[in-house]
Amino acid sequence: MKRIVLALVLLAACRSAPREGTQVTGAPSPRAAVDRVLGAIRAQDLQALGAVWGDKRGAARDIMQRDEYDKRVIVMQCYFSHDAARVLSGPTTKADTVQFNVELSKGDIRVQTTAKTLQGPGSRWYVLTMEPVPSGLCRR
C-alpha cells in the first residue's frame, strides 16, 4: 500500500512540473504587455523580455531562431535601456495592433517611442515592435 501511495505522489509531482514551452507567455492585456517588456528591459531579464515580445504566433523566444533572437534582444536591451518609463498616451488601435506612446528616461536624457502590441495565441498580448530611437540611451 505504501508503494502505491508513493508511486502516486511521484507521478503527480512529475505531471505538475513545468515543461519547456508550456509556460504562459504574453500578457493578459496590451498595456500589461508594454509594462512587462519595459520591466524586463529595466531588469535586464532577457528571458522575461522574450516571453512577452512576439507576434501573432506567440513569444519571440519560442518562434525565432536562437542566434537571431539573441542578437535582437541584445539590441533591444541597448536601445531601450532606461531608469524610468511612463506611458504618455494610448491605447490607440490601428488595424490589428494596439499602440502606446512611451517616454523612456536615463539620467537626464528623455526619449519617446511607440510600442505596438498584437494579440497572439490564447488571447495573450505581445509587444510586436518598439520604434528604435537614436539617442544617448544606447552607450558603450
**Domain residue limits, the chain:** 25-130
CA distances for 3 relative to 6, 82, 107, angstroms: 5, 55, 62
Per-residue pLDDT at 66 exceeds 50:
yes
Name the H helices within 44-108: 46-52, 60-63, 66-79
Single out the residue of 61, 78, 60 nearest to residue 128, CA to CA.
60
pLDDT at 39: 95
Mean pLDDT of 1-10: 38
Q: What's the CA gap between 48 and 35, in Å, rounded?
A: 12
> How distant is the alpha carbon of residue 6 from its chain centre?
40
- 25-130: CATH topology is Nuclear Transport Factor 2; Chain: A, (3.10.450)
Identity of the residue numbered 117: T
Mean pLDDT of 86-108: 90
Higher pLDDT, 137 or 25: 25
Mean pLDDT of 64-81: 89
The tens digit of pLDDT for each residue in 23-47 reads 789 999 999 999 999 999 999 998 8
Per-residue pLDDT at 140 exceeds 80:
no
Identity of the residue numbered 90: G
Identity of the residue numbered 120: G
**Three cell numbers at 73?**
534582444
Per-residue pLDDT at 5 exceeds 50:
no
Per-residue pLDDT at 18 exceeds 50:
no
